[in-house]
Structure 1
Amino acid sequence: MTTTYTLSRESHKDPNTFRIKYKDAKLVLDDREQSKWYIDKSIPVKETSSKVAIIGGGFSGIGAAMTTINKLGESDLVLFEKHESLGGTWFANTYPGCASDIPALWYSYTSELVSNWSELRPPQYEMLEYIRRVVDRYQLNSKARLKSQIQQATFNEKTNHWEIEGFNLATGERFKHTAQIICNCSGGLVVPNKFAPKGMETFKGDYMHSGIWDWSVDFKGKKVVVIGNGCSAAQVVPELLKFEPESVVQLVRSQHYILPPHPRFLLYLYNLLSRWGFGLLLLRWIVMIVAESRYPMYKDTGLVGRFVRWWNTRNSVRYMRKTVPKKFHDVLIPKYKIGCKRLIFDYVYCPTLHDPRIDVKAEQVVEVKEHSVILTDGSEIQADIIVACTGYDLNKGAAPYKLIGRNGNDVSKYWKENGPSAYETFLAKDLPNLFLIAGPNSASGHSSVVQAIEISCGYYAKVAKKILDGTYASICVKDEKYLEWFETTQKLLKQSVFGTAYGGCVSWYSDAKVNFAAYPYSQITYFRRGRNVKWDDLDLVKTKNS
């Protein structure tokens, strides 16, 4: 059953009420602030329990909670979230221009649609307003344990239950929570990558990462240096000009293919069809099919793949040459194969580059001084404010807490040594009754992460049902099937454009060890495989009564 929401757009009247406080964002996300975390060992550990524990309160966690309630008929669940509000990245990320790069009519739950998005890609605060409406409908705030920092989860093989340890960031109170099932929904794009060149500690101006934005900083009349030119930078730079800076110098770390904005007629069509729930679903499917048509360009296959790659490359380069000032063409237009990095759908970035206050350089910062930065070509640029759009540390996002599974195996350590992975993206080695929602290798270069979340939740519902109804005490992927998936995935991804020698670039899809971000098949295949549980691939431990 699909529910349709009509947003009040109260978030547009006062966006600040839909943004995390800067000091709270720093405390949770900036690892330099973690020394300030306080654990009160003078009071007893609080012990609680539930049948299902969900770690992470963003789109994945909320989706897992809805699945638990709707498909499993289970309301005994707890949502652990480290921030002071549910919402995940749409609560924590508040930088100017922050919006999804996927149209919101697809970047939303299939069962919870919106009839009046203000734009195809509405601003962060409107996305959070939507999330809060969903949270209120399912009364999830009553099940949430906010400001909860998880430190370790240990599987007890005698009880076949998980023991979760952590503490409250506000009070320092420790807790131990026991659960039959864990849904790990911690997300990957969470921990900001450090920007720490030589001399950074001597900088006298204001510094912020796009993922920890300080709205108290006044940009008017200031000289701003922006590091990076990925998805977030393409959104930030045009918005900064509205704050009337003296200048903005953007330092390009690598080039990106930028595609034209989504066509306006799609918004008109949405406004027309949004009167009917069926119309919203129909348009959603149209957007999905169009996006999926780009999939062949990611694979090193035959004529179709080469044609799709050529067509999209041509479309992007023509747009960039038409809208970007000629003096920046060599700096911004890539030469690697399209799809090697995540595609950027433009909004106003390329046309904004004609503003005389903006300069774009293909240089890196080698040193920071009190009021300036030194670049690789030896030049010095004055800086009052440095904005780092340097992305996120995926390794920390993959294993944000210690995981001790069967036979005392430290899976978080295993992931650090061998690279994170999860069988079919859902189940990890030696972690019974633990489900990864949008886990390793669930991302794509062209699709909506919410689609991956819903596929994961569908798989979770099918398998977890057998645990909750008492058929099995524990379910875990077999070691050989886990390794078979890992090896097959890595082999296929090496034959694709994702951050490989074939693609011709270095991207966040892949680190030095493995590519644990990108999905190796099409989204149609992902949907089909997620619906088909291969029970023979799983270790099934029956309950004593079954």
Structure 2
Amino acid sequence: MSTVTLTKESHKTPSSFRVKYKDCKDILGDNEVSKKNINNKLPTLYSASKVAIIGAGFGGIGTAIKTMKELHEEDFTIFDRLDNFGGTWYANTYPGCASDIPALWYSYSFALATNWSKVQPFQYEMEEYILRVAEEFNLRPKTRFQTYIDKCVFDEDSGEWTLYAHDTKSGQKVEHKAKVLVGCTGGLVYPNQLRSEGMEKFKGVYMHSAVWDHSVDFKGKNVVVVGNGCSANQVVPALLNNPQYNVGSITQISKSKHYIMPPVPSFLQWLYRLLSFNYYGLLLVRWLTIALAEARVPLYKGNGLLSRFVRWVNSSISNRYVKKYAPAKYHDLLIPHYKIGCKRLIFDYNYVPSLHDPRIEITNENIKRVVEDGIILTNDKFVPADIIVACTGYNLAKSFKLPISTTKGVSLNKFWDTEGPSAYCTILPKQIPNLFLIGGPNSATGHSSVVMAIENGIDYYLKVAKPVLQGKKKSVVVKTEAYDNWFKTIQEELRKSVFGTPFGGCISWYSNGEVNSTAYAWSQISYWYITHFPNYKDLIYTPAADTKKKA
């Protein structure tokens, strides 16, 4: 275990720690230019490794490092469409973008930073941390950037994966062989674009918060912000208070309500600095943070006395905060009436106090249509707009669309389209051997750090894949009955939870109404247990002696 000390260079030159706008637009924009840029005239490049890792964000980096540290296996290759490490933290660079979970917890347990500038640091500092960790473990030589994965096919006879890909710039095709495939693509990838009538007529600037154009001048402009979730909570105060933007006005389209909690207490940062002298001091503060967060678990499920009490406490804290710091005219627009936790909690980043600024107006009227110089609301009010910013979240269903299949006709996408995205213990899909999903279906929580969940998933992969990587086994796959039992059990449990359910009382990105493929149904203590003590009776290992290739 080690610590990491940041240089804070990212504070001096934030632009050096974010993706170029054109690259981000080509990959994540509607046209997906990079996906289509295939050059059949160039010779195909061939390569191989024991492990292929898709994604160079927290999941991919953590998988690579632990594969080296725990399995002593250095024969791996990381693939990513972007030109640097970071994933979401490299691509999402909107003003105010920051961690909504304390960074001491939203980081690797084996590489704790000694000098975070604040409890919830900005995007560029998070990216600096990620790059620092990747540098420390020398991952760059083992990473193929600017590479789009077109499809992955598992040969059930040879027990080998073939990844078909292409370079996003030159279009040159790549074929890569691997024994084990680890998907670390994440869920917050493809932006949900604003699809209001008349968008094509708008003569101003439109952008989604996930694909931010930093060349746009916001000073003195009339801005419409669509959405009021986590991204909008950070974008709005930044546009109002940062001298770099200093907008003329903001009209925020608030289509739904969220429980907004007070900012993370400054006491946590004080304690962190007091105990940052060594790894174990940092670990103590991390575990204290985890314990406080886990105490919130009862609010997410059931209607017993404890659950109702924890919900009441947290709802009261949120409501008191909003009533104290937001203008009275906005209380009805901000305070929800569904059960807390039905939508993801927001820990305020100065959004609520900023609503006193006379330049902002919130409305719960939807957009009726977009016109050349603004929008028309459903009450027929005209709102002038020079810039429209969509803080409308992500297309999780598209993020789950992984081009994975086997030579015997099993397609992950077809299977998920039929039954809904899922994976045994959130990691092993059905009927596809030697495939591990880190941060996969049902691995997210409403109260915890996704990085902690990622590490738990990686530890499961290490244990289960070890015999395959050592050559003792040809392949491993979850038993069909074990997968089906997992799927049934977790979906039944989630229906009793608040995550976007009738019980919770709201519509949420956690669930599509039929299958909840996003949220984990229990505590992170439970997740740690199932990932660190695999039930090997639920798995099928094929002996290595069966690796006979067809002539």
Q: Please indicate, yes or no, whether the TM-score normalized by the shorter chain is above 0.5.
A: yes
Give the deviation of 1:407 after TM superposition: 2.4
Distance 1:93 1:532 in 2: 35
- Hey, what does 2:22 align to over in structure 1? 23
Which residue type is aligned with residue 219 of structure 2?
A: K
Distance 2:537 2:504 in 1: 36
Give the deviation of 1:296 after TM superposition: 0.4
Q: Is the 8 A contact 2:205 2:387 kept in 1?
A: yes
1:159-238 equivalence runs, <5 A: 159-238=158-237
- Hey, what does 1:270 align to over in structure 2? 272
SS at structure 1 position matched to 2:358: coil
Give the deviation of 1:449 after TM superposition: 0.1
Find the partner of 1:364 among 331, 353, 366. 366
- Hey, what does 2:315 align to over in structure 1? 313
- Hey, what does 1:421 align to over in structure 2? 422
Does 1:541 pair with 2:542? yes
Against the structure 1 CA distance between its residues 523 and 35, is the aligned structure 2 distance closer, same or farther, given a 3 Å change threshold? closer
Q: Deviations over 1:261-318 (max 9, x none)?
A: 1111111111110012111000000000000000000011411111101100111111
- Hey, what does 2:147 align to over in structure 1? 148
Distance 2:473 2:496 in 1: 39
Which residue type is aligned with residue 84 of structure 2?
A: S
Which residue type is aligned with residue 10 of structure 1?
A: E
Does 1:349 pair with 2:348? no
Which residue type is aligned with residue 20 of structure 2?
A: K
TM superposition outliers: structure 1 runs of 4+ over 6 Å: none
Q: Is the 8 A contact 1:406 1:431 kept in 2?
A: no
Distance 1:42 1:244 in 2: 49
Distance 1:36 1:530 in 2: 34
Give the deviation of 1:479 after TM superposition: 1.1
Which residue type is aligned with residue 314 of structure 1?
A: S
Distance 1:282 1:356 in 2: 43
Distance 1:48 1:411 in 2: 24
Give the deviation of 1:431 after TM superposition: 1.4
Unaligned runs of 5+ in 1: none
Q: Is the 8 A contact 2:474 2:546 kept in 1?
A: no
SS at structure 2 position matched to 1:408: coil
- Hey, what does 2:251 align to over in structure 1? 249
Distance 1:354 1:182 in 2: 51
SS at structure 1 position matched to 2:408: helix
Give the deviation of 1:86 after TM superposition: 1.1
Q: Deviations over 1:15-39 (max 9, x none)?
A: 0000111111100101224388321
Q: Is the 8 A contact 1:474 1:542 kept in 2?
A: yes
- Hey, what does 1:486 align to over in structure 2? 487
- Hey, what does 1:521 align to over in structure 2? 522
1:368-407 equivalence runs, <5 A: 368-399=370-401, 401-405=402-406, 407=408
Which residue type is aligned with residue 32 of structure 1?
A: N
Give the deviation of 1:512 after TM superposition: 3.5
Which residue type is aligned with residue 199 of structure 1?
A: G
Against the structure 1 CA distance between its residues 396 and 545, is the aligned structure 2 distance closer, same or farther, given a 3 Å change threshold? closer
- Hey, what does 1:113 align to over in structure 2? 112
Give the deviation of 1:545 after TM superposition: 8.2
Distance 2:364 2:174 in 1: 49
- Hey, what does 1:34 align to over in structure 2? 33
- Hey, what does 2:87 align to over in structure 1? 88
Give the deviation of 1:526 after TM superposition: 0.6
Distance 1:479 1:377 in 2: 53
Q: Is the 8 A contact 2:229 2:258 kept in 1?
A: yes
Which residue type is aligned with residue 483 of structure 1?
A: D
Which residue type is aligned with residue 270 of structure 1?
A: Y
Distance 2:279 2:34 in 1: 50
Greater CA deviation, 523-532 or 408-417? 408-417
Distance 1:247 1:500 in 2: 36
Which residue type is aligned with residue 228 of structure 2?
A: N
Distance 1:301 1:540 in 2: 41
Q: Is the 8 A contact 1:208 1:387 kept in 2?
A: yes
Distance 2:327 2:519 in 1: 33
Distance 1:449 1:214 in 2: 27
Give the deviation of 1:44 after TM superposition: 2.2
Q: Is the 8 A contact 2:26 2:34 kept in 1?
A: no
- Hey, what does 2:157 align to over in structure 1? 158
Distance 1:372 1:36 in 2: 32
- Alpha-carbon RMSD: 1.2
Which residue type is aligned with residue 283 of structure 2?
A: L
Distance 2:382 2:491 in 1: 42
Give the deviation of 1:406 after TM superposition: 6.3
Give the deviation of 1:87 after TM superposition: 0.7
Q: Is the 8 A contact 1:229 1:251 kept in 2?
A: yes
Q: Deviations over 1:149-176 (max 9, x none)?
A: 1111111012101111111101100111
SS at structure 2 position matched to 1:32: coil
Against the structure 1 CA distance between its residues 528 and 545, is the aligned structure 2 distance closer, same or farther, given a 3 Å change threshold? same
Which residue type is aligned with residue 368 of structure 2?
A: V
Does 1:442 pair with 2:452? no
- Hey, what does 2:68 align to over in structure 1? 69
Q: Is the 8 A contact 1:6 1:114 kept in 2?
A: yes
Q: Deviations over 1:194-245 (max 9, x none)?
A: 1111110111001110000000000111100000000010000000012121
Q: Is the 8 A contact 1:418 1:513 kept in 2?
A: no
Distance 1:272 1:72 in 2: 35
Give the deviation of 1:477 after TM superposition: 0.5
Distance 2:69 2:275 in 1: 27
Q: Is the 8 A contact 1:406 1:432 kept in 2?
A: no
Unaligned runs of 5+ in 2: none
Which residue type is aligned with residue 249 of structure 1?
A: T
Identity %, equivalent residues: 52
